[in-house]
Amino acid sequence: MFRALVVEKDEAGATSAGVQMLDDSRLPAGDVTVAVEWSTLNYKDGLCLGSGGGMVRAWPHVPGIDFAGTVESSDDPRYKPGDRVVLTGWRVGESWWGGFAEKARVKADWLVPLPEGLSTRQAMAVGTAGFTAMLSVMALEDHGLTPALGEVLVTGAAGGVGSVAVALLAERGYAVAAVTGRPETEPYLRDLGASRIVPREELAETVKKPLESEVWAGCIDNVGGPMLARLLGQMKSDCSVASVGLAGGADLPAKVTPFILRGVNLLGINSVFVPYAKRVTAWNRIATELPMAKLEAMVKECALGDLPDLGRAILKGAVQGRVVVDVR
């Protein structure tokens, strides 16, 4: 038997979540069974803890898009009992049972060996949010970003992806401007390495002039919607925006002018289906480049039973930094 946070759906279509004891026979088919030690809370988990947001197709469901733990048994030669592993993406926690449980059974292809020097708790302090922040930094640098080019903007900065992005960029020597709608997070963002705080209202207005003054050498955007449209017109020539999220909306009410007159690039970031070699690179860079003291400053711990409330909070943009879930 193992403990799991189970979401159920009643005949009227309402969902409810609670901790239950489940028999091992309930685990899905898969080739590696992992004793989960830590999981974490991402925006998507907020959706999967509630209605499912169109991502969950079958109930009862165990959410949790990330987990880290120790292999308990494996039918795959790449993993053996005792190996420490981390999983993000592959629709685990959405269309597959996820990490909000003491045990998870998954495909070996989806796992990554935990890099040297990273604990399972630290890996989950990073989670999909931090992994995505690293993928964004990699994409921007692959497209020519260097600290010498100027300030890099991070939107939704006090959230999970934003917090890790600010810390990673600052550690690599970038001047980071952090957009936040929560002025009270300024000390937190400055401690992570932001050198400028941009109030959300400054970028909230929709595009009036397709091209404004050139300000940003790069951007990691977690917000989408009118804010992304607006900041495209403020990008320096030939610089890039990594489009990560839609916390402010999925529409993009933009002009093409920044693309065709300034050569601005809009780079899509998808953390879910990342080839193995790139995942290993990203995790190794996280283990060596992310300052662990800053990571610790972002983290709050919770238990499985706290997740339904925290899921509602993250959907309202009311969670600061990263939440790790102690599953042990």
Q: Which residues bind ligand NDP (CB under 6 A)?
A: 42-44, 128-129, 132, 156-162, 180-182, 185, 200, 222-223, 227, 244-248, 269-272, 314, 317, 319
Comparing CB distances to ligand NDP, the nearer of 52 and 102 is: 52
Comparing CB distances to ligand NDP, the nearer of 159 and 193 is: 159
Comparing CB distances to ligand NDP, the nearer of 92 and 129 is: 129
Q: Are 27 and 85 in contact (CB under 8 A)?
A: no
- The terminus-to-terminus CA distance of the chain in angstroms comes to 13
181 backbone dihedrals φ, ψ, rounded to 5°: -95, 0
- Minimum distance from CB of 194 to ligand NDP (Å)? 10
The closest residue (CB) to ligand NDP is 159
- Minimum distance from CB of 88 to ligand NDP (Å)? 9
Question: What is the number of H-type helices and E-type strands within the chain?
Answer: 9, 15
- Minimum distance from CB of 271 to ligand NDP (Å)? 3
Comparing CB distances to ligand NDP, the nearer of 120 and 180 is: 180
- Minimum distance from CB of 212 to ligand NDP (Å)? 19
Listed residue (143, 138, 169) closest to 154, CA to CA? 169
Question: Residue 32 belongs to what H/E stretch?
Answer: strand 32-41
- Minimum distance from CB of 150 to ligand NDP (Å)? 22
d(C-alpha 35, C-alpha 104), whole Å: 7
Comparing CB distances to ligand NDP, the nearer of 270 and 288 is: 270
d(C-alpha 176, C-alpha 153), whole Å: 6
Taking the CA atoms of 104, 109, 110 and 113 in sequence, report the sign of the dihedral they define.
Answer: positive
- Minimum distance from CB of 152 to ligand NDP (Å)? 16
228 exposed, middle or buried (CB, 10 Å; 0-12, 13-18, 19+)?
buried
Q: Are 49 and 84 in contact (CB under 8 A)?
A: no
Comparing CB distances to ligand NDP, the nearer of 93 and 248 is: 248
